[in-house]
Amino acid sequence: MTDTTIEVTVADPGEPRPSVVGDSRLDVAVDGELYPTAELTDGGYLAWWFEAADSPAPDADATTEWVAAPTRFLAAATLRELWANPAAFDRIADGSV
């Protein structure tokens, strides 16, 4: 069995943002909803905490929550699951998982 790393990050405004490949944004559909994703410069993919239609860039100060995973779909699907279960996100964000 191989482990897959999925990282959930919460940052305060002004903290460093993830570095993404320019023009790599692609909105991914999960369960009928679109989620913004982008390729990370150090490998993997990022989904961030905004609806695709009105999302700022992943490195904008307004963007403070991200999911990083090996594939776009896995990042977006994890984001979808955490949106569906905010208590799980809170446990992950505060380190109690």
**pLDDT tens digit sequence for 51-83:** 888 899 998 888 889 999 999 999 999 999 998
Whole-angstrom Cα distance, residue 14 to residue 52?
23
pLDDT of residue 13 exceeding 90: no
**SS3 (DSSP) at 38:** strand
Residues 6+ apart with CB under 8 A from 24: 38, 39
pTM of the model: 0.86
Nearest residue to 35 via CA among 43, 45, 44? 45
Per the structure block, which two tokens stand in for 92? Answer: 């992950």
